[in-house]
Amino acid sequence: MVTLIRYKVSKQKVSKVIDNVSKRTISMLAKELSVNVETIRFYERKGLIKQPPKPMQGYRHYPKETVNRIHFIKRSQELGFTLNEIEGLLALNDSPCSKVQELANKKLIAVQKKMADLLLEHALEEHLGQCQNNDDDSHCPIIDSLQPK
């Protein structure tokens, strides 16, 4: 048996909840997004987000679009994009997907190069370790690894 519970909510209460959500001050925004207030100000100066107009009295209020935009910025940073690249991505928002794909492809190539460098570094460290533990001066593990098999 399913029981339905009905709540009577006045329009004033709903309106007040909506007003509170849309009245995000910079400190509320920072707390909601787990970022520093100075990070938000930096994004404003850089032009990544718009600074809302300051009312005659009170504080600036940040809309939901700003929350979404900062989420986009932070997620892009997690993927390895620089702020300049993110600025480019944001500018491409209304552009054809092929332009976004081109930028993402360049980033992928850069990440793959970094990964290859890390693998090479690991291989060199491994060979150096073999050399340090090598008691036989008649052959070198690094030279041996470079020889064709």
Would you state the pLDDT for residue 122? 84
Confidence label for 134 from pLDDT (cuts 50, 70 and 90): confident
Q: How far apart are CA 83 and CA 37, in angstroms?
A: 17
Q: How far apart are CA 144 and CA 149, in angstroms?
A: 9
| CA–centroid distance for 22 within its chain | 24
Confidence label for 93 from pLDDT (cuts 50, 70 and 90): confident
Would you state the pLDDT for residue 11? 53
Q: How far apart are CA 92 and CA 110, in angstroms?
A: 20
Q: Are 105 and 81 in contact (CB under 8 A)?
A: no
Confidence label for 17 from pLDDT (cuts 50, 70 and 90): very low
69-94 in b/e burial notation, b at 16+ Cβ within 10 A?
Answer: bbebbeebeeeebeeebbbebeebee
112 or 11, which is more confident = 112
Q: How far apart are CA 93 and CA 62, in angstroms?
A: 21
**What is the secondary structure of 63-75 as a DSSP string?**
-HHHHHHHHHHHH
Average pLDDT, the chain: 83
Q: Name the token pair of 85.
A: 């690249």
Would you state the pLDDT for residue 67? 96
- pLDDT tens across 32-78, in order? 999 999 999 999 999 999 999 989 998 999 999 999 999 999 999 99
Q: Name the token pair of 145.
A: 């690894």
Would you state the pLDDT for residue 139? 79
108 or 18, which is more confident = 108
pTM assigned to the model: 0.60
